[in-house]
Amino acid sequence: DTGVSQNPRHKITKRGQNVTFRCDPISEHNRLYWYRQTLGQGPEFLTYFQNEAQLEKSRLLSDRFSAERPKGSFSTLEIQRTEQGDSAMYLCASTGRGSVYEQYFGPGTRLTVT
Amino acid sequence: GNSVTQMEGPVTLSEEAFLTINCTYTATGYPSLFWYVQYPGEGLQLLLKATKADDKGSNKGFEATYRKETTSFHLEKGSVQVSDSAVYFCAFNNAGNMLTFGGGTRLMVKP
């Protein structure tokens, strides 16, 4: 399967714990995006990378959130000191040089903070 | 600011009925427009797109036309099937960066 993959698919954690999610984009896609989707809403942009450079961050991305893409391939999104309001689906998408405007999404990681 | 407004659901139709889901956007410049679909338990899939005014995107019997004068991108299908039941998201992408999504419209098609 050459699609975007995300791990884990589900994560349940207690408030105050740290969590980390991983996204593997489509091979050779140079842009990688993170979004957050709460129940009944559309996805909201969090941040994106071009290769290993983080080029833009939403104001939704508080200082408890950090994202990396160290080798320009997979990316991680870490949330420190989780809060119940962080409960959401975290989506990753990637796009390649030949189709800058078409983003391909992974299945998402559903986070539940208890 | 940038935003997408789409009709609230759920939209409930009988099989073979005509579908319209309205979408309007507020954006600077000349965005590309998209419809994404999310089937139950699955991730977002690109359904169709249009990159300039008057372009018509189409796929799987769905169509949408980029109307710059009314800043709209309404989704239509002439005859829906039960398998079209899903949540549909209208979105735009300006300058090759992040997507701005509407809130989604749930479509339920009954046999």
* Residue of B44, B98, B100 with shortest CB distance to A48: B98
Find all residues with CB under 8 Å of A17, minimum gap 6, and list them: A81, A82
- The number of angstroms, rounded, from the C-alpha of A83 to the middle of its chain's C-alpha atoms is 17
pLDDT at A61: 86
pLDDT of A17 > 70? The answer is yes
E-strand ranges in A14-107 read 19-24, 31-37, 44-50, 53-57, 65-68, 75-79, 88-95, 104-105
Are A33 and B96 within 8 A, CB to CB?
no
Residue B83, phi then psi, degrees to nearest 5 = -70, -10
pLDDT attached to residue A72 = 86
Contact: B98, A45; criterion CB under 8 Å: yes
pLDDT, one tens digit for every residue, chain B (111 residues): 789 999 888 999 999 999 999 999 999 888 999 999 999 888 899 999 999 999 999 999 999 999 999 999 999 999 999 999 999 999 998 765 789 999 999 999 999
Give the number of other CB atoms < 10 A from CB of residue A64. 13
Whether A43 sits inside 8 A of B101 (CB atoms) is yes
CB contacts of A103 in chain B (<8 Å) are 46, 93, 99
Query: What is the structure's pLDDT at B98?
Result: 86
Could you tell me if A25 lies within 8 Å of chain B, comparing CB atoms? no
Percent of chain B with pLDDT over 70: 98
Residues of A in contact with B34 (CB under 8 A): 101
Chain B nearest C-alpha distance from A18 (Å) = 25
What pLDDT does residue B95 have?
Answer: 67
**Dist. CA B8–CA A52, nearest whole Å:** 38
- With CB atoms and an 8 Å threshold, state whether B99 touches A35: yes
Does A98 have pLDDT greater than 80?
A: no
Smallest Cα distance from B11 to chain A, Å: 14
pLDDT at B96: 58
Residue A12 reports pLDDT greater than 60? yes
pLDDT of residue A52: 93
Of A55, A103, A106, the CB nearest to B99: A103
Backbone phi, psi, residue A98, to 5°:
-80, -10
Which residue of B lies nearest to A43 if distances are taken between CA atoms?
B101
Q: State how far the alpha carbon of B47 is from the alpha carbons of A35, A106, A112, B108, in Å.
A: 19, 15, 29, 17
The distance between the two most distant Cα atoms of chain B, rounded to a whole number of Å, is: 43
Q: How confident is the model at residue A99 (pLDDT cuts 50, 70, 90)?
A: low
How high is the pLDDT of residue B11? 96
